[in-house]
Structure 1
Amino acid sequence: MLNAAIEIAFVLIGAALALNVYRLLVGPDTTDRILALDTLGINSIALLILYGISTASSAYFEAALLLALLGFVGTVALCKYLLRGDISE
């Protein structure tokens, strides 16, 4: 039962990734593209966690945590660049 749920989650998150890539490429505005990039990172984290559950390995959870930290810092840096034109003050 758990394996079927994990497989369904893989398919649905994969579809969400495809839709995020579409929004990233076609997005009408820069803010939409930044939001799509952030959501792409969140969905990648979800895929890593699902893969970690399916293989029963804790290394993927650590990789997901690292990706979450990097995604947050990247999103903040891009938003700060859009607002002020400079990342460092």
Structure 2
Amino acid sequence: MTVVFTITFGLLVLAGALTLVRLLRGPRTLDRILAIDVLVVLIACGVAVEMAASGRAMNIALLLGITLLGFLGSISAVRLTEGRKDHR
């Protein structure tokens, strides 16, 4: 089972690297907002995989906090860019 967790962590790291490329390159503000949201989801998935690998659910509050922060951050960012015509 350790091999599965290692492969999963590797794929999450690869997805995070590709998401960081999208975050830095843009080109629009909404692309960057979406990249940050995906990065938060990847962090939450990493915490969930770590909890499954260790067999302890001690980080459940951390997982809930990360997902709530990501949700509220996405809603706030979309509200800020909602009225703009050019999202650059």
Q: TM-score scaled to structure 1, two decimals?
A: 0.88
Higher helix share: 1
Mapped contact 1:27–1:33 kept (Cα < 8 A): yes
Q: What CA RMSD, in Å, does the superposition of the two structures yield over aligned residues?
A: 1.2
Q: How many residues are matched?
A: 84
* Map of 2:63 onto structure 1: 64
Identity among equivalent positions (%) equals 30
* Map of 1:21 onto structure 2: 20
Structure having greater relative contact order (Cα 8 Å, sep ≥ 6): 2
Aligned-partner Cα distance in 1 for 2:60–2:15? 20
Unaligned runs of 5+ in 1: none
Matches within 5 A, 1:10-89: 10-84=9-83
Unaligned runs of 5+ in 2: none
Deviation beyond 4 Å, 4+ runs, structure 1: none
Q: TM-score scaled to structure 2, two decimals?
A: 0.89
